[in-house]
Structure 1
Amino acid sequence: MQVFKQYFRIVKKSALSSLLLYMAIFIFMTIIFSNVGNSTDSTSFETEKCKVAILNNDNSPLSNNLEAYIEENSKLVKIKTTDEGIRDALFFREAEIIITIPKGFEDSFLKDNSYTLETQSIPNSSSSIFIKSMINNYLNTTKVYIDNTKNLDFEKISDLVNKDLSIDTEVTLAKDNKEDTKSSVTYYFNYLAYPMLCMLILGISIVSNIFNSPDLKRRNLCSPINSYNFNMQIFLGDMVLALSTWTIFMALAIVMYPKDMFSFSGVLHGINSLIFTITCLCLSFLISNISTKNSIGPISNLVSLGCCFLGGAFVPQQLLSETVKSTAIFNPVYWFINVNDKLNALSTFNMDTLTPLLFEMLIMLAFSVAFLGVGLVIMKQRRTKY
C-alpha cells in the first residue's frame, strides 16, 4: 500500500490548506444562513405597542379613563409640553403620536357629541392610525352606554367598556404549502453541495496531477507495482478522502442539529448526501483526468459554483425559470437539492412518498456511473501515451 500512503502525504502537503479553507467557508456560511428559515418564517401575529404621548388638559373622569385605556394598550411616554418639545418628540421618534385632550372635552362629549381630540403623528405611521381607531372604538362604546343606561357613573361605564374592548381574537398566518418553509437542516444540506464538490474536485485533481506528471508516471511504470494495483490504490485513496469529508460534514450536522439528525428525515438526508458524495467522487475522478496543474483551481470553482447556482443550492429551485430547470436536470446538484426540499416537505413517510425520492437518488447514482465510465476511458487513452 505504498501508493495509498503516498496519496495522503501529497494531500497533507499540497491540498490540506485549500480543503480546510473551503471547510471554514462552509461552516461560516452555515452559521450565517442556515437559520434563515426559522428566523424569517412566522405563523404567529403579535401586536406591537405604539409610543404615545398624552397631554390631558381636561382632567375629567372621562378624559382620565380614556388616558388609562390608552396607557393600557400602548407605550405611554413623557415629553415636553412646549411646541418645540412636541416637534422634537415626533422628529426623534420619541413618540409616534401625540394626543391632546382639550379642556371641556367631557362636557362637549356629553352635550352634543361634537367632541374633538387634537392629534399629531409621524407621517404615514400605521401605528398612529391604529391608536386613532382604538380611541374611536372606546369613545363610541362609551357613548352607547351613556345613551342607553341611567344612573351609571363614569367609573362603572369605564369598567363595562374595558370589558367589552378586552375581547381578543387569536390570529394565525396559514401556510398553503410546507415546501415554502425550509428547516435549518435543509439549508445545511443544500449549502453542502458547494464545499463537497469544490473540495473533492480540488483534492483529487491535485493528487492525480502529481501522480500523472510525465516523469513520475514513467518511473511508476518501471516499478514492480502493476498498473491495475497502482490505479486501485489511488482510487482507494480517492474513496477514503471522499468518505472522510462526508463524515466530517455529517458530524458537524449532528453537533448543530442533533434533534433533526436523529430522526428518520435526518437519516434520509444523510443517505442522500452520501449518494451525492459518491457522485462528486466520480465527477472529480473524471475532472482529474482532464485538468492540468494550472487549471485545477479555475475548473473546481467553475464547476462547483456553476452546478450549485443552476441546481438551486444558492437560489431556491422555486425561483428558477423553466428554461433553467430544463437544463438543470442534467446537473446532479439539481437532484440532490430536489431530494432535500422534498424531504423537508414530507410529513409522513411510506413507500408512496419515498418512491419518488429513491428514484431521484438512483438518478444521481446513474450520473456516478456515467462520470466513472468516461473517466476510465480518458485514463486509458492517457496511459497509451506512455
Structure 2
Amino acid sequence: MFFGFSEEERMVQKSVRDMLEKYCQIVDVRAFMNNPTVSDEIQSLFGKQGLLGILEPNEGKVTGVTYAILISQEAGRAVLPYPLLENLVGLYALKTCEQHGNLINDVEAGKSMLTIAWRNYETMAIRTEKGFSLSGKLLEVPFAADADKIIATVRIPGTGYTPLEEETVVVLDRSNPAVSFRKRTGFDETYPIYDVYLDDYPLLETDIVQGLGMGIGHKLMCKVEQLGALLSASEMVGSSERALYDTVEYTKQRKQFNTVIAKFQALKHMAADMYLQVESAKSAIEYAAWALEAGDAEAESAVSIAKAYTSTASKKVIGDAIQMQGGIGFTWENDLHLFFKRVTRSAALLGDTYTHNERIAKYVLDRISTEKHILEENYQHTI
C-alpha cells in the first residue's frame, strides 16, 4: 500500500504555494492589517484555479479532503488574509442541497464570497405568511464585512423535539437591510471578526440548506465543524512549519561570539524537537483526511486527535521560534508574531485542545465499554 501524496496532489500544493508567494507576501498581509479588505485578486485567483469547490459530499463520505488539507497548509504558510476555510467547508454544506446551484457556481468562480457564523446567540426564526422572520445575533463571524453570504445555524421552534433538533442551516444575504454588524477587536488582525445583528430578517424557504429542523441542520453543522477543525489544524501546520524553517535560516545568519548560532547544541536540539512536532502533526492530519475520505469509523476521533495535537504543538513550535530569534523575535517588525497570532486563534477555533481531548477520552471509554459488553455476551453464550 502506498502512503503518500500523488503527483497531482503535490502539483496542486506547489501551484498554490507559487501563487501565494507571488500574490500574498508578508508585505501584503501587513497592508491588509492596515486596511482590512479582502483582495479581489486573491479571491479571483482561487476561483480561476478551481480550488474553492474541492470538497464534495459523496454518499456519506467526503471527497477532496486530501487536496483541501494541502491547500489549507499553504494558506497557513502565507498567513492568508482570506476566509479560505469558510469558503471550502461552506461550499461543501451548500452542495448537500440541490437548491443553491447558482450560489455554488458564483462562489466556486470567485465571484461571491462565503463566511460561516460558527457561534450564535439566541438566533431564532418565527414563521410568517411569506416564510420566517429571523432575529438574533451571530458572534465572531470572520470577514463578515467582505462576505456576500453568511451560512449560519438558527433555531426554528416547532421543527424538532429539542433545541438541537430545531437547528436549521440557512444562507443569509449580508447586504440585506435587516443585517448590521460591528467589528470586534480580535487577537489576529489578519482574520477580522464581526458580530452580526439580525432584526426581522425575511428568511425564505429557498434560504434553507437541506431541510427544516428534525436534527438535519444540527447533523450538517457538526459535519461542517468537523471538516473545519481538520482544515484549521492543517493551516496551523503550515504556519508552524514556515516559522521553523525561517528561524533555522535566521540562525545560520546570526552570529554570537564570532560563531553562527546554528552551531550551538542547544538550538540544534530545539530545532530537532520543533521538526518532530511539525511532522507528527502532519501525520495526524493526513491520517484524519484519509479516514474522512474512506468513511472510516475512526474518522471522528482521528480529527480530534489531529486538532488537539496540532493546537498544542503549533503554539509550542512558534513560541520556540520566537525564543530562538532572541530579542528581535519579540518585536513588531519581526513576522513571527503574525504566525503566532494566527495559530493561537486557530487553536481556539472549533474546539481547543481540552475540548478535543475530552472527545477522544469519550470515544476510547465508549469503545472499551462496547468491547467489554461483547466479551460478556460471548462468555454467557459459552457457559
Report the TM-score when normalising by structure 2: 0.24
Point out which structure has higher relative CO (alpha carbons under 8 A, 6+ apart).
Answer: 1
Greater gyration radius: 1
Report the TM-score when normalising by structure 1: 0.24
> Between Structure 1 and Structure 2, which shows a larger proportion of helix residues?
1
> Between Structure 1 and Structure 2, which shows a larger proportion of strand residues?
2
